Amino acid sequence: MPTAREALLDAALRALADRPWRTVRMVDVAALAGVSRQTLYNEFGTKSGLAAALLRQAADGYLTGVDRALTAPAPERPAAVARWTVRAADADPLVKGLLTGVWGERLPRPGRDVPGRDVPGPAELLGLARDRMAAASHPMPPVRCERALRLALSYVIVPCPPGGAGTQWAEPDSWSPITPMMTSEIDTSFSVETTSPRKTMP
Protein backbone atom coordinates (compact mmCIF):
# COMPACT_ATOMS: atom_id res chain seq x y z
CA MET A 1 0.00 0.00 0.00
CA PRO A 2 1.47 3.39 -0.97
CA THR A 3 2.41 5.88 1.71
CA ALA A 4 0.62 9.24 1.94
CA ARG A 5 3.63 10.89 0.28
CA GLU A 6 3.59 8.43 -2.63
CA ALA A 7 -0.16 8.84 -3.03
CA LEU A 8 0.18 12.62 -3.08
CA LEU A 9 2.95 12.59 -5.67
CA ASP A 10 0.90 10.25 -7.85
CA ALA A 11 -2.14 12.51 -7.44
CA ALA A 12 -0.06 15.56 -8.39
CA LEU A 13 1.11 13.81 -11.57
CA ARG A 14 -2.48 12.89 -12.44
CA ALA A 15 -3.58 16.48 -11.89
CA LEU A 16 -0.67 17.72 -14.02
CA ALA A 17 -1.73 15.41 -16.85
CA ASP A 18 -5.08 17.22 -17.02
CA ARG A 19 -4.09 20.86 -16.57
CA PRO A 20 -1.11 23.24 -16.44
CA TRP A 21 0.83 23.31 -13.19
CA ARG A 22 -0.13 26.92 -12.50
CA THR A 23 -3.80 25.87 -12.25
CA VAL A 24 -3.24 22.76 -10.10
CA ARG A 25 -4.56 23.49 -6.61
CA MET A 26 -3.30 21.86 -3.44
CA VAL A 27 -6.87 21.06 -2.40
CA ASP A 28 -7.39 19.15 -5.66
CA VAL A 29 -4.20 17.12 -5.15
CA ALA A 30 -5.25 16.23 -1.61
CA ALA A 31 -8.70 15.18 -2.80
CA LEU A 32 -7.25 13.01 -5.58
CA ALA A 33 -4.99 11.31 -3.07
CA GLY A 34 -7.81 10.82 -0.60
CA VAL A 35 -6.06 12.68 2.23
CA SER A 36 -6.60 15.95 4.03
CA ARG A 37 -5.06 19.23 2.93
CA GLN A 38 -3.20 19.29 6.24
CA THR A 39 -1.52 15.99 5.35
CA LEU A 40 -0.42 17.48 2.03
CA TYR A 41 1.00 20.59 3.72
CA ASN A 42 2.69 18.45 6.37
CA GLU A 43 4.47 16.45 3.65
CA PHE A 44 5.52 19.24 1.29
CA GLY A 45 4.96 22.55 3.04
CA THR A 46 4.00 24.55 -0.04
CA LYS A 47 3.12 24.08 -3.68
CA SER A 48 6.77 24.84 -4.47
CA GLY A 49 7.77 22.01 -2.13
CA LEU A 50 5.41 19.68 -3.97
CA ALA A 51 6.87 20.75 -7.32
CA ALA A 52 10.40 20.15 -6.04
CA ALA A 53 9.42 16.67 -4.85
CA LEU A 54 7.90 15.85 -8.25
CA LEU A 55 11.10 16.92 -10.04
CA ARG A 56 13.36 15.07 -7.60
CA GLN A 57 11.25 11.95 -8.07
CA ALA A 58 11.64 12.26 -11.85
CA ALA A 59 15.41 12.71 -11.53
CA ASP A 60 15.72 9.76 -9.14
CA GLY A 61 13.62 7.60 -11.47
CA TYR A 62 15.86 8.48 -14.41
CA LEU A 63 19.03 7.62 -12.48
CA THR A 64 17.50 4.35 -11.26
CA GLY A 65 16.92 3.49 -14.93
CA VAL A 66 20.55 4.35 -15.70
CA ASP A 67 21.68 1.91 -13.01
CA ARG A 68 19.37 -0.75 -14.44
CA ALA A 69 20.73 -0.18 -17.96
CA LEU A 70 24.27 -0.60 -16.62
CA THR A 71 23.54 -4.24 -15.78
CA ALA A 72 23.86 -4.96 -19.53
CA PRO A 73 27.06 -6.67 -20.74
CA ALA A 74 30.00 -4.24 -20.64
CA PRO A 75 30.27 -3.52 -24.40
CA GLU A 76 26.53 -2.72 -24.58
CA ARG A 77 26.33 -0.38 -21.59
CA PRO A 78 26.78 2.99 -23.34
CA ALA A 79 24.09 2.15 -25.90
CA ALA A 80 21.81 0.74 -23.18
CA VAL A 81 22.04 3.96 -21.17
CA ALA A 82 21.53 6.03 -24.33
CA ARG A 83 18.41 4.05 -25.22
CA TRP A 84 17.05 4.44 -21.69
CA THR A 85 17.74 8.20 -21.75
CA VAL A 86 15.72 8.67 -24.93
CA ARG A 87 12.89 6.41 -23.76
CA ALA A 88 12.70 8.10 -20.34
CA ALA A 89 12.58 11.59 -21.85
CA ASP A 90 9.95 10.48 -24.35
CA ALA A 91 7.77 8.96 -21.63
CA ASP A 92 8.06 11.70 -18.99
CA PRO A 93 8.09 15.42 -19.83
CA LEU A 94 9.57 16.15 -16.39
CA VAL A 95 12.59 13.96 -17.20
CA LYS A 96 12.91 15.66 -20.58
CA GLY A 97 12.89 19.07 -18.91
CA LEU A 98 15.48 18.00 -16.35
CA LEU A 99 17.80 16.64 -19.05
CA THR A 100 17.44 19.50 -21.53
CA GLY A 101 16.48 22.56 -19.47
CA VAL A 102 13.58 23.12 -21.88
CA TRP A 103 10.29 23.41 -20.01
CA GLY A 104 6.80 23.50 -21.45
CA GLU A 105 4.34 26.02 -20.07
CA ARG A 106 2.29 23.22 -18.50
CA LEU A 107 5.12 21.98 -16.27
CA PRO A 108 6.52 23.07 -12.93
CA ARG A 109 10.00 24.40 -13.54
CA PRO A 110 13.12 25.21 -11.52
CA GLY A 111 13.66 28.90 -10.91
CA ARG A 112 10.00 29.76 -11.29
CA ASP A 113 8.03 27.14 -9.34
CA VAL A 114 10.96 25.59 -7.47
CA PRO A 115 13.33 28.06 -5.78
CA GLY A 116 17.07 27.61 -5.34
CA ARG A 117 18.85 24.36 -6.14
CA ASP A 118 16.25 21.91 -4.93
CA VAL A 119 16.55 19.83 -8.12
CA PRO A 120 19.52 18.98 -10.38
CA GLY A 121 20.04 21.03 -13.51
CA PRO A 122 20.82 19.39 -16.87
CA ALA A 123 24.61 19.52 -16.40
CA GLU A 124 24.39 18.05 -12.90
CA LEU A 125 22.00 15.27 -13.92
CA LEU A 126 24.14 14.45 -16.96
CA GLY A 127 27.21 14.38 -14.72
CA LEU A 128 25.55 11.98 -12.27
CA ALA A 129 24.61 9.63 -15.12
CA ARG A 130 28.08 9.93 -16.67
CA ASP A 131 29.80 9.11 -13.38
CA ARG A 132 27.61 6.03 -12.91
CA MET A 133 28.49 4.89 -16.43
CA ALA A 134 32.21 5.47 -15.92
CA ALA A 135 32.22 3.56 -12.63
CA ALA A 136 30.38 0.61 -14.18
CA SER A 137 32.36 0.64 -17.44
CA HIS A 138 35.94 1.02 -16.16
CA PRO A 139 38.37 1.59 -17.82
CA MET A 140 36.15 3.58 -20.23
CA PRO A 141 37.03 7.28 -19.68
CA PRO A 142 34.21 9.52 -18.41
CA VAL A 143 34.48 11.63 -21.59
CA ARG A 144 33.34 8.68 -23.71
CA CYS A 145 30.45 8.02 -21.36
CA GLU A 146 29.43 11.66 -21.66
CA ARG A 147 29.55 11.46 -25.45
CA ALA A 148 27.08 8.59 -25.42
CA LEU A 149 24.75 10.63 -23.22
CA ARG A 150 25.09 13.74 -25.38
CA LEU A 151 24.30 11.72 -28.49
CA ALA A 152 21.20 10.42 -26.72
CA LEU A 153 20.22 13.98 -25.79
CA SER A 154 20.49 15.00 -29.44
CA TYR A 155 17.80 12.41 -30.17
CA VAL A 156 15.72 13.75 -27.27
CA ILE A 157 15.87 17.29 -28.65
CA VAL A 158 15.52 16.39 -32.35
CA PRO A 159 14.18 12.82 -32.59
CA CYS A 160 14.94 10.68 -35.60
CA PRO A 161 12.00 10.10 -37.99
CA PRO A 162 10.49 6.59 -37.92
CA GLY A 163 12.14 5.55 -41.19
CA GLY A 164 15.63 6.54 -40.04
CA ALA A 165 18.10 8.70 -41.92
CA GLY A 166 17.05 9.95 -45.35
CA THR A 167 13.33 9.98 -44.65
CA GLN A 168 11.09 13.00 -44.25
CA TRP A 169 10.74 14.39 -40.74
CA ALA A 170 7.43 13.48 -39.12
CA GLU A 171 5.23 15.45 -36.78
CA PRO A 172 6.38 15.27 -33.12
CA ASP A 173 3.55 12.95 -32.00
CA SER A 174 4.66 10.28 -34.47
CA TRP A 175 8.40 10.54 -33.89
CA SER A 176 10.03 7.28 -32.88
CA PRO A 177 11.74 7.56 -29.48
CA ILE A 178 14.78 5.50 -30.50
CA THR A 179 16.13 3.72 -33.57
CA PRO A 180 18.86 1.14 -34.16
CA MET A 181 20.75 3.88 -35.98
CA MET A 182 21.65 5.55 -32.69
CA THR A 183 23.16 2.35 -31.27
CA SER A 184 25.15 1.97 -34.49
CA GLU A 185 26.42 5.55 -34.23
CA ILE A 186 27.57 5.01 -30.64
CA ASP A 187 29.34 1.76 -31.51
CA THR A 188 31.00 3.35 -34.56
CA SER A 189 32.12 6.39 -32.58
CA PHE A 190 33.75 4.30 -29.87
CA SER A 191 35.34 1.98 -32.45
CA VAL A 192 36.94 4.91 -34.30
CA GLU A 193 38.24 6.42 -31.06
CA THR A 194 39.75 3.09 -30.03
CA THR A 195 41.39 2.06 -33.29
CA SER A 196 42.49 5.28 -34.97
CA PRO A 197 46.14 6.20 -34.17
CA ARG A 198 45.43 9.82 -35.11
CA LYS A 199 42.59 10.15 -32.59
CA THR A 200 43.60 11.35 -29.14
CA MET A 201 41.23 11.80 -26.25
CA PRO A 202 41.27 15.10 -24.38
Q: Determine the distance from the C-alpha atom of residue 115 to the mean position of all C-alpha atoms in its chain, rounded to a whole number.
A: 20
CA atoms within 13 A on the CB side of 49: 10
pLDDT of residue 140: 82
Q: How confident is the model at residue 115 (pLDDT cuts 50, 70, 90)?
A: confident
Q: Is the overall model pTM greater than 0.75, yes or no?
A: yes
Q: Average pLDDT for residues 130-149, to the nearest whole number? A: 90
Tell me the C-alpha distance between 19 and 150, whole Å. 31
pLDDT of residue 163: 58
pLDDT of residue 1: 82
